[in-house]
Amino acid sequence: MPRCLQKTSILCSLGAALIIGCICLWLQRSPNPSERSLVPDPDPRLADLGEAPDWSALKLYDGVLSRNEFDTALRDIYLLGPNRHFDITDEGVRVASTISSHVPRVSFAQGKNRSRPPRYWRPASQLPPASKGRPLDGIRIAIDPGHIGGKWARMEERWYQIEETTPVTEGDMTLLTAELLAPDLEALGAVVTLVRSSPDPVTELRPDDLRSYARRVLSGAPEEKIISLSERMFYRTAEIRARASLVNNTIRPDLVLCLHFNAEDWGALPNKPRLSPRNHFHIILHGAYLDSEISHEDERFELMHKIFQGTHKEEAALAGVLATAFLKKTGLPAYLYSIGRPAKRVGPALWARNLLANRLYQCPVLFFEPYVMNNNEVYERIQAGDYAGEREVAGSRKQSIYREYRDAILAGLKIYYKSRRATK
């Protein structure tokens, strides 16, 4: 072969290899089409990864509430600031929107007549009689083990370890508690589904899939800040939205139990954490929107569902009984939010906050926050692991922390439904 043709052949081969390499690199860095389609474009009028509302769905709530009932809920439970986004008259309410020019007015009930709100969940008052000894008979309960575990716990910053002891990972602890709780709920008649049944996330998305979204939100920011935001959007936002889709479209429960463990600040080094003398308990209900949150159109839309479905009434009744049972079983003090925090006190150990899970799950949600994970005694109880019966731990005989958590929930649910359901 002539030397010039040999050189041409070599150059062509090198060029082809370079093109193939670039294509492979692009494919590795780019999310696949199905993943990319799950990520909407950023819009300052919407919450992170939020989508424009279908306002027409609100017409299903015509005649459900009176003006006074709507006003009272909006003022007392849901808004921390003044009303700037709801046009309220004696006839109905229309939500402000710049995304859509066709937002219908939801008509208020007039007089004593009320329409029943469309909803997939059932309050205790609408449940059929229970079988004897099964107070939770037929109740659909979703258990949502908070956070994610395993290899993801460090990214979430819900992980710490002291020297060579067992790592403290909230996502694994909540899953263990859920696995202990589920069979006992079923024994009482409940139909139970775990929203997360492994240490892995529910969402198909990963931080790299959210990098472009984060880059558009933080235009011009250093790459490390973009990476950090994409990680937070993965575990705080995309993960909860994926769980919400599962709850609302597949499980459709009467009640969601969101299991969490609390924590005090343990410092910047999770391998050298600060332990705290503080320990406490509270349950979070939905409400207390900041002005910056209610400025998002999708959050206003989700708030309307909560108000018209009457979710708070059932949540507050359930939570009051559960909180009493928890405080009695654990001996923990009720947590108090400091002045200035975006929260409204609903009752002893009960606080309303606008958390993503509470807002997106379209049914009553009890968000448990017992035990400070980096409290001295709690740390020793976590190190003791799960066990049956009682053991000497931290100076006295105790149940495993996971079974104590489980038993407090069981006690509260039994009391609540026994007092509100007839027996066959």
Q: What does residue 316 show for φ and ψ, rounded to 5 degrees? A: -65, -40
**Calpha distance 192→259 (Å, rounded):** 14
Q: Fold for domain 124-203+239-420?
A: Aminopeptidase (3.40.630)
| CB atoms inside a 10 Å sphere around CB 337 | 14
pLDDT on residue 37: 57
pLDDT on residue 356: 98
Using CA atoms of 319, 325, 327, 328 in order, give the dihedral in degrees to the nearest 10. 160
Cα dihedral across residues 150, 152, 155, 156: positive or negative: negative
Rounded to 10°, the helix 311-330/297-309 angle is: 80
Rounded to 10°, the helix 170-187/401-420 angle is: 40
Residues whose CB is less than 8 angstroms from the CB of residue 101 and which lie 6 or more positions away in sequence, other chains included? none
Q: What percent of the chain has a predicted confidence (pLDDT) above 90?
A: 90
In one-letter notation, the amino acid at residue 376 is N
Across residues 230-256, what is the average pLDDT?
98
Task: Find where tokens 């910053």 sit.
Answer: 157
Using CA atoms of 34, 38, 44, 47 in order, give the dihedral in degrees to the nearest 10. -170
H/E segment holding residue 72: helix 67-73
Domain boundaries, the chain: 124-203+239-420
Task: Find where tokens 């009434």 sit.
Answer: 313
pLDDT on residue 235: 97
Residues 321-368 have pLDDT tens digits of: 999 999 999 999 999 998 889 999 999 999 999 999 999 999 999 999
Q: Is the CB of residue 333 less than 8 Å from the CB of residue 281?
A: yes
pLDDT on residue 24: 42
pLDDT on residue 339: 85
Across residues 141-148, what is the average pLDDT?
98
